Amino acid sequence: MRPLFLLLAAAAVLAAQTHKTTHVIWVMTDGLRWQEVFQGAELALMTKQNGVANPEEFKRQFYRDTPQESRRVLMPFLWETISKQGQLYGNREAGAEAYVTNGMNFSYPGYNESLTGVPDPRINSNDKKYNPNTTLLEWLHNKPAYKGKVAAFGAWDVFPWIFNAPRAGFPVNASYEPFDKLPGNSTIKLLNELKANSPRDWEDECFDNLTVETALEYLKQAKPRVMYLSLGETDEWAHAGKYAEYLRSARRADQYLKQLWETLQSIPEYRGTTTLIFSPDHGRGTGPEWRSHGQKINESKYIWMAFLGPDTPALGERKNISAVTQNQLAATIAQLLGEDYRAAVPATGGAIQEVIRTAAK
Protein backbone atom coordinates (compact mmCIF):
# COMPACT_ATOMS: atom_id res chain seq x y z
CA MET A 1 0.00 0.00 0.00
CA ARG A 2 2.78 2.39 0.90
CA PRO A 3 4.44 2.42 -2.57
CA LEU A 4 1.04 3.14 -4.16
CA PHE A 5 0.41 5.96 -1.68
CA LEU A 6 3.80 7.45 -2.40
CA LEU A 7 3.19 7.17 -6.15
CA LEU A 8 -0.14 8.95 -5.87
CA ALA A 9 1.35 11.66 -3.68
CA ALA A 10 4.20 12.18 -6.13
CA ALA A 11 1.73 12.42 -9.02
CA ALA A 12 -0.29 15.05 -7.13
CA VAL A 13 2.84 17.10 -6.43
CA LEU A 14 3.92 16.85 -10.07
CA ALA A 15 0.47 17.96 -11.27
CA ALA A 16 0.56 20.94 -8.92
CA GLN A 17 4.01 21.90 -10.16
CA THR A 18 3.16 21.64 -13.85
CA HIS A 19 -0.27 23.29 -13.74
CA LYS A 20 0.22 26.98 -14.53
CA THR A 21 -3.15 28.54 -15.43
CA THR A 22 -4.41 30.84 -12.68
CA HIS A 23 -6.18 33.35 -14.96
CA VAL A 24 -8.66 32.93 -17.83
CA ILE A 25 -9.81 35.39 -20.48
CA TRP A 26 -12.77 34.07 -22.46
CA VAL A 27 -13.74 35.91 -25.65
CA MET A 28 -16.83 35.06 -27.68
CA THR A 29 -17.89 36.61 -30.99
CA ASP A 30 -21.50 36.26 -32.00
CA GLY A 31 -22.37 34.10 -35.01
CA LEU A 32 -18.99 33.95 -36.75
CA ARG A 33 -19.11 30.93 -39.07
CA TRP A 34 -16.58 28.12 -38.99
CA GLN A 35 -16.29 28.52 -42.77
CA GLU A 36 -14.59 31.93 -42.51
CA VAL A 37 -12.47 30.85 -39.53
CA PHE A 38 -11.00 27.84 -41.36
CA GLN A 39 -11.36 28.79 -45.02
CA GLY A 40 -11.25 32.59 -45.02
CA ALA A 41 -13.48 34.83 -47.11
CA GLU A 42 -16.00 33.02 -49.31
CA LEU A 43 -15.63 34.12 -52.92
CA ALA A 44 -19.26 33.40 -53.83
CA LEU A 45 -20.47 35.85 -51.17
CA MET A 46 -18.31 38.75 -52.35
CA THR A 47 -21.05 40.38 -54.41
CA LYS A 48 -22.92 43.65 -54.44
CA GLN A 49 -26.05 41.71 -53.47
CA ASN A 50 -24.24 40.77 -50.25
CA GLY A 51 -23.22 44.29 -49.41
CA VAL A 52 -19.79 44.36 -51.08
CA ALA A 53 -19.67 47.68 -52.95
CA ASN A 54 -16.50 46.93 -54.91
CA PRO A 55 -16.12 43.14 -55.19
CA GLU A 56 -12.83 43.17 -57.13
CA GLU A 57 -11.13 45.49 -54.67
CA PHE A 58 -12.50 43.54 -51.76
CA LYS A 59 -11.17 40.29 -53.22
CA ARG A 60 -7.71 41.84 -53.37
CA GLN A 61 -7.97 42.65 -49.69
CA PHE A 62 -9.45 39.43 -48.34
CA TYR A 63 -9.25 36.59 -50.86
CA ARG A 64 -6.26 34.38 -51.71
CA ASP A 65 -5.75 31.28 -53.85
CA THR A 66 -5.92 28.78 -50.97
CA PRO A 67 -8.07 28.53 -47.84
CA GLN A 68 -4.92 28.53 -45.73
CA GLU A 69 -3.79 31.85 -47.19
CA SER A 70 -7.28 33.39 -47.10
CA ARG A 71 -7.88 32.56 -43.45
CA ARG A 72 -4.48 33.96 -42.48
CA VAL A 73 -5.30 37.22 -44.23
CA LEU A 74 -8.64 37.42 -42.45
CA MET A 75 -7.48 36.41 -38.96
CA PRO A 76 -3.69 36.63 -38.69
CA PHE A 77 -3.42 36.32 -34.89
CA LEU A 78 -5.56 33.18 -34.89
CA TRP A 79 -3.45 31.54 -37.57
CA GLU A 80 0.00 32.89 -36.81
CA THR A 81 -0.11 32.62 -33.02
CA ILE A 82 -2.97 30.47 -31.69
CA SER A 83 -2.61 27.79 -34.38
CA LYS A 84 1.12 27.51 -33.64
CA GLN A 85 1.03 27.74 -29.85
CA GLY A 86 -2.46 26.45 -28.99
CA GLN A 87 -5.38 24.45 -30.43
CA LEU A 88 -8.30 25.07 -32.80
CA TYR A 89 -11.41 22.90 -33.19
CA GLY A 90 -14.24 22.97 -35.70
CA ASN A 91 -12.93 22.47 -39.24
CA ARG A 92 -15.56 20.10 -40.59
CA GLU A 93 -13.61 19.48 -43.77
CA ALA A 94 -10.68 18.24 -41.68
CA GLY A 95 -12.77 15.80 -39.66
CA ALA A 96 -12.93 17.96 -36.53
CA GLU A 97 -16.55 18.97 -35.94
CA ALA A 98 -17.72 21.23 -33.14
CA TYR A 99 -21.41 21.92 -32.56
CA VAL A 100 -24.03 23.21 -30.14
CA THR A 101 -26.34 20.75 -28.38
CA ASN A 102 -29.20 23.08 -27.40
CA GLY A 103 -31.08 22.60 -30.70
CA MET A 104 -31.97 26.30 -30.91
CA ASN A 105 -28.91 27.61 -32.78
CA PHE A 106 -29.32 31.21 -31.66
CA SER A 107 -27.81 33.52 -29.07
CA TYR A 108 -29.27 33.25 -25.56
CA PRO A 109 -29.48 29.42 -25.69
CA GLY A 110 -25.91 29.33 -27.05
CA TYR A 111 -24.52 31.62 -24.38
CA ASN A 112 -26.33 29.68 -21.68
CA GLU A 113 -24.94 26.37 -22.98
CA SER A 114 -21.42 27.78 -23.21
CA LEU A 115 -21.48 29.44 -19.81
CA THR A 116 -23.27 26.73 -17.82
CA GLY A 117 -22.37 23.57 -19.73
CA VAL A 118 -26.02 22.51 -19.78
CA PRO A 119 -28.54 23.35 -22.52
CA ASP A 120 -31.89 24.43 -21.10
CA PRO A 121 -35.14 24.10 -23.10
CA ARG A 122 -36.66 26.84 -20.93
CA ILE A 123 -34.32 29.30 -22.63
CA ASN A 124 -36.01 29.42 -26.02
CA SER A 125 -35.87 33.12 -26.90
CA ASN A 126 -33.59 36.14 -26.67
CA ASP A 127 -35.96 37.86 -24.25
CA LYS A 128 -34.58 39.66 -21.24
CA LYS A 129 -35.34 37.04 -18.63
CA TYR A 130 -32.96 36.32 -15.79
CA ASN A 131 -31.15 33.05 -16.30
CA PRO A 132 -32.32 30.49 -13.72
CA ASN A 133 -29.03 28.62 -14.19
CA THR A 134 -25.72 29.35 -12.48
CA THR A 135 -22.97 30.15 -14.96
CA LEU A 136 -19.39 28.99 -14.57
CA LEU A 137 -18.41 32.58 -13.74
CA GLU A 138 -20.94 32.79 -10.91
CA TRP A 139 -19.87 29.38 -9.62
CA LEU A 140 -16.25 30.52 -9.54
CA HIS A 141 -17.14 33.87 -7.99
CA ASN A 142 -18.82 32.07 -5.12
CA LYS A 143 -15.48 30.50 -4.23
CA PRO A 144 -13.25 32.54 -1.87
CA ALA A 145 -10.31 32.40 -4.28
CA TYR A 146 -12.33 34.19 -7.00
CA LYS A 147 -14.50 36.53 -4.92
CA GLY A 148 -14.20 40.01 -6.38
CA LYS A 149 -11.96 38.70 -9.17
CA VAL A 150 -14.54 37.90 -11.89
CA ALA A 151 -16.01 40.29 -14.47
CA ALA A 152 -17.98 40.16 -17.72
CA PHE A 153 -18.34 42.62 -20.60
CA GLY A 154 -20.66 42.28 -23.59
CA ALA A 155 -21.70 44.40 -26.54
CA TRP A 156 -25.27 43.01 -26.34
CA ASP A 157 -27.62 44.41 -23.71
CA VAL A 158 -29.04 40.99 -22.75
CA PHE A 159 -25.90 39.91 -20.88
CA PRO A 160 -27.00 41.15 -17.45
CA TRP A 161 -29.93 38.73 -17.82
CA ILE A 162 -27.78 35.90 -19.20
CA PHE A 163 -25.46 36.14 -16.19
CA ASN A 164 -28.32 37.01 -13.83
CA ALA A 165 -26.20 39.93 -12.66
CA PRO A 166 -28.16 40.84 -9.50
CA ARG A 167 -27.71 37.31 -8.17
CA ALA A 168 -24.22 36.67 -9.59
CA GLY A 169 -22.66 39.60 -7.75
CA PHE A 170 -19.74 40.36 -10.07
CA PRO A 171 -19.53 43.29 -12.54
CA VAL A 172 -21.50 42.73 -15.77
CA ASN A 173 -21.24 45.66 -18.16
CA ALA A 174 -23.22 45.54 -21.40
CA SER A 175 -23.95 47.59 -24.49
CA TYR A 176 -24.33 51.35 -23.94
CA GLU A 177 -24.57 51.02 -20.16
CA PRO A 178 -21.95 53.26 -18.47
CA PHE A 179 -19.34 51.42 -16.43
CA ASP A 180 -19.15 52.62 -12.84
CA LYS A 181 -16.69 50.21 -11.22
CA LEU A 182 -13.54 52.30 -11.78
CA PRO A 183 -14.38 55.74 -10.37
CA GLY A 184 -11.83 58.39 -11.23
CA ASN A 185 -10.49 56.48 -14.25
CA SER A 186 -10.24 59.05 -17.08
CA THR A 187 -10.28 56.42 -19.85
CA ILE A 188 -13.48 54.89 -18.50
CA LYS A 189 -15.01 58.35 -18.23
CA LEU A 190 -14.24 58.98 -21.91
CA LEU A 191 -15.60 55.57 -22.93
CA ASN A 192 -18.81 56.23 -21.02
CA GLU A 193 -19.16 59.54 -22.86
CA LEU A 194 -18.62 57.82 -26.20
CA LYS A 195 -21.26 55.23 -25.35
CA ALA A 196 -23.73 57.97 -24.52
CA ASN A 197 -23.03 60.14 -27.57
CA SER A 198 -22.00 57.79 -30.40
CA PRO A 199 -24.36 57.08 -33.33
CA ARG A 200 -26.25 53.82 -32.91
CA ASP A 201 -26.72 51.28 -35.67
CA TRP A 202 -28.47 48.97 -33.18
CA GLU A 203 -30.37 50.03 -30.09
CA ASP A 204 -29.51 46.87 -28.15
CA GLU A 205 -25.84 46.55 -29.09
CA CYS A 206 -22.91 48.95 -29.16
CA PHE A 207 -19.92 48.67 -31.46
CA ASP A 208 -17.35 46.15 -30.26
CA ASN A 209 -14.52 48.62 -29.77
CA LEU A 210 -16.36 50.37 -26.93
CA THR A 211 -16.84 47.07 -25.11
CA VAL A 212 -13.28 45.91 -25.76
CA GLU A 213 -11.65 49.12 -24.54
CA THR A 214 -13.80 49.13 -21.39
CA ALA A 215 -12.79 45.52 -20.65
CA LEU A 216 -9.12 46.25 -21.32
CA GLU A 217 -9.10 49.18 -18.93
CA TYR A 218 -10.71 47.04 -16.23
CA LEU A 219 -8.20 44.27 -16.91
CA LYS A 220 -5.24 46.60 -16.48
CA GLN A 221 -6.52 48.26 -13.30
CA ALA A 222 -8.52 45.59 -11.46
CA LYS A 223 -6.59 42.52 -12.69
CA PRO A 224 -9.43 39.95 -12.46
CA ARG A 225 -8.63 36.24 -12.41
CA VAL A 226 -11.51 35.44 -14.80
CA MET A 227 -12.81 37.87 -17.41
CA TYR A 228 -15.44 37.27 -20.07
CA LEU A 229 -15.77 39.42 -23.18
CA SER A 230 -18.46 39.07 -25.86
CA LEU A 231 -18.39 40.80 -29.26
CA GLY A 232 -21.50 41.27 -31.37
CA GLU A 233 -20.75 42.89 -34.71
CA THR A 234 -20.12 39.65 -36.61
CA ASP A 235 -23.74 38.65 -36.05
CA GLU A 236 -25.26 42.09 -36.62
CA TRP A 237 -23.55 42.69 -39.96
CA ALA A 238 -24.40 39.17 -41.13
CA HIS A 239 -28.10 39.63 -40.36
CA ALA A 240 -27.95 42.90 -42.28
CA GLY A 241 -26.56 41.02 -45.29
CA LYS A 242 -23.37 43.10 -45.33
CA TYR A 243 -20.63 40.56 -46.02
CA ALA A 244 -17.94 43.22 -46.27
CA GLU A 245 -18.69 44.52 -42.79
CA TYR A 246 -19.05 40.98 -41.47
CA LEU A 247 -15.52 40.18 -42.65
CA ARG A 248 -14.14 43.46 -41.34
CA SER A 249 -15.66 42.77 -37.93
CA ALA A 250 -14.12 39.27 -37.95
CA ARG A 251 -10.73 40.79 -38.68
CA ARG A 252 -11.21 43.34 -35.89
CA ALA A 253 -12.13 40.51 -33.49
CA ASP A 254 -8.81 38.91 -34.34
CA GLN A 255 -7.04 42.22 -33.75
CA TYR A 256 -8.73 42.55 -30.36
CA LEU A 257 -7.47 39.08 -29.44
CA LYS A 258 -3.95 40.15 -30.36
CA GLN A 259 -4.30 43.34 -28.34
CA LEU A 260 -5.58 41.37 -25.34
CA TRP A 261 -2.83 38.78 -25.55
CA GLU A 262 -0.07 41.38 -25.86
CA THR A 263 -1.53 43.29 -22.92
CA LEU A 264 -1.58 40.10 -20.86
CA GLN A 265 2.05 39.39 -21.70
CA SER A 266 3.02 42.88 -20.52
CA ILE A 267 1.51 42.40 -17.04
CA PRO A 268 3.56 40.20 -14.66
CA GLU A 269 0.48 38.69 -12.96
CA TYR A 270 -0.84 37.43 -16.31
CA ARG A 271 2.31 36.53 -18.22
CA GLY A 272 2.73 32.76 -18.28
CA THR A 273 -0.34 32.13 -16.12
CA THR A 274 -3.23 33.00 -18.46
CA THR A 275 -5.30 30.89 -20.85
CA LEU A 276 -7.21 32.63 -23.65
CA ILE A 277 -10.37 30.99 -25.05
CA PHE A 278 -12.15 32.11 -28.23
CA SER A 279 -15.52 30.77 -29.40
CA PRO A 280 -18.93 31.75 -30.90
CA ASP A 281 -22.46 31.19 -29.59
CA HIS A 282 -23.75 29.58 -32.81
CA GLY A 283 -22.95 29.18 -36.50
CA ARG A 284 -24.82 30.29 -39.62
CA GLY A 285 -26.30 28.84 -42.76
CA THR A 286 -24.62 28.44 -46.14
CA GLY A 287 -25.29 30.02 -49.52
CA PRO A 288 -28.19 32.49 -49.33
CA GLU A 289 -28.75 31.42 -45.72
CA TRP A 290 -25.34 32.72 -44.57
CA ARG A 291 -27.20 35.69 -43.08
CA SER A 292 -29.32 33.57 -40.76
CA HIS A 293 -29.31 30.85 -38.14
CA GLY A 294 -31.76 29.01 -35.90
CA GLN A 295 -33.64 25.75 -35.51
CA LYS A 296 -34.68 25.61 -39.16
CA ILE A 297 -31.10 26.00 -40.39
CA ASN A 298 -29.32 22.83 -39.31
CA GLU A 299 -25.97 24.08 -40.61
CA SER A 300 -26.01 26.82 -37.99
CA LYS A 301 -25.39 24.36 -35.16
CA TYR A 302 -21.75 24.03 -36.20
CA ILE A 303 -19.25 26.18 -34.33
CA TRP A 304 -15.51 26.32 -33.56
CA MET A 305 -13.32 26.98 -30.53
CA ALA A 306 -9.72 27.98 -29.86
CA PHE A 307 -7.42 27.70 -26.81
CA LEU A 308 -4.08 29.33 -26.05
CA GLY A 309 -2.26 29.09 -22.73
CA PRO A 310 0.47 27.49 -20.63
CA ASP A 311 -1.43 24.25 -19.97
CA THR A 312 -2.63 23.66 -23.53
CA PRO A 313 -0.32 21.56 -25.74
CA ALA A 314 0.55 23.19 -29.06
CA LEU A 315 -1.40 20.76 -31.27
CA GLY A 316 -2.60 23.48 -33.64
CA GLU A 317 -5.55 22.88 -35.95
CA ARG A 318 -7.11 19.61 -34.86
CA LYS A 319 -7.89 17.07 -37.59
CA ASN A 320 -9.62 13.69 -37.73
CA ILE A 321 -10.73 13.65 -34.10
CA SER A 322 -13.95 13.02 -32.19
CA ALA A 323 -16.44 15.88 -32.29
CA VAL A 324 -16.44 18.40 -29.48
CA THR A 325 -19.52 20.24 -28.24
CA GLN A 326 -20.40 23.62 -26.82
CA ASN A 327 -21.49 22.12 -23.50
CA GLN A 328 -17.88 21.04 -22.85
CA LEU A 329 -16.51 24.58 -22.68
CA ALA A 330 -17.46 25.33 -19.06
CA ALA A 331 -15.89 22.15 -17.63
CA THR A 332 -12.80 22.59 -19.81
CA ILE A 333 -12.24 26.15 -18.64
CA ALA A 334 -12.80 25.19 -15.01
CA GLN A 335 -10.30 22.34 -15.28
CA LEU A 336 -7.75 24.65 -16.85
CA LEU A 337 -8.04 26.63 -13.60
CA GLY A 338 -7.68 23.45 -11.57
CA GLU A 339 -11.37 23.38 -10.61
CA ASP A 340 -13.83 20.49 -10.96
CA TYR A 341 -17.01 22.07 -12.29
CA ARG A 342 -18.49 18.78 -13.44
CA ALA A 343 -18.47 17.39 -9.89
CA ALA A 344 -20.76 20.29 -8.95
CA VAL A 345 -22.81 20.17 -12.18
CA PRO A 346 -22.85 16.52 -13.36
CA ALA A 347 -25.11 17.31 -16.33
CA THR A 348 -22.45 19.48 -17.95
CA GLY A 349 -20.36 18.17 -20.83
CA GLY A 350 -17.00 16.72 -19.85
CA ALA A 351 -13.79 18.70 -20.24
CA ILE A 352 -11.90 18.38 -23.52
CA GLN A 353 -8.89 16.58 -22.12
CA GLU A 354 -6.60 17.24 -25.08
CA VAL A 355 -6.75 20.95 -24.22
CA ILE A 356 -5.32 20.36 -20.75
CA ARG A 357 -1.73 19.26 -20.32
CA THR A 358 -2.18 18.13 -16.73
CA ALA A 359 -5.51 17.13 -15.26
CA ALA A 360 -5.10 17.03 -11.49
CA LYS A 361 -8.86 16.66 -11.00
Residue 351 lies in a domain: yes
DSSP string across 66-101: SHHHHHHHH-HHIIIIIHHHSEEE--GGGT--EE-S
| pLDDT for residue 357 | 83
pLDDT digits (tens, 9 = 90+) for 62-120: 999 999 999 999 999 999 999 999 999 999 999 999 999 999 999 999 999 999 999 99
Residue 219 lies in a domain: yes
Q: Is the pLDDT of residue 202 over 90?
A: yes
Range of the domain at 244: 21-355
Q: Is the pLDDT of residue 10 over 70?
A: no
| pLDDT for residue 18 | 80
State the average pLDDT for the chain. 95
pLDDT digits (tens, 9 = 90+) for 276-327: 999 999 999 999 999 999 999 999 999 999 999 999 999 999 999 999 999 9
What total of structural domains would you count in the chain? 1
pLDDT over 90 percentage in the chain: 94
Residue 230 lies in a domain: yes
| pLDDT for residue 148 | 98
Coil/strand/helix, residue 257: helix
Residue 28 lies in a domain: yes
Mapped to the 3 state alphabet, what secondary structure does 180-244 carry? CCCCCCHHHHHHHHHHHHCCCCECCECCHHHHHHHHHHHHHHHCCCEEEEEECHHHHHHHCCCHH
Single pTM value for the model = 0.94
Residue 66 lies in a domain: yes
| pLDDT for residue 17 | 55
**Are the CB atoms for 112 and 121 separated by under 8 Å?**
no
| pLDDT for residue 4 | 52
CB burial of 42-53 (b: ≥16 within 10 Å; e: otherwise) equals beebbeeebbbe
DSSP string across 100-137: -SSS--SHHHHHHHHHHSS--TT--S------SSPPHH
pLDDT digits (tens, 9 = 90+) for 38-52: 999 999 999 999 999
**Are the CB atoms for 41 and 74 separated by under 8 Å?**
yes
The domain that holds 162 is classified in CATH as: 3.40.720.10
Residue 15 lies in a domain: no
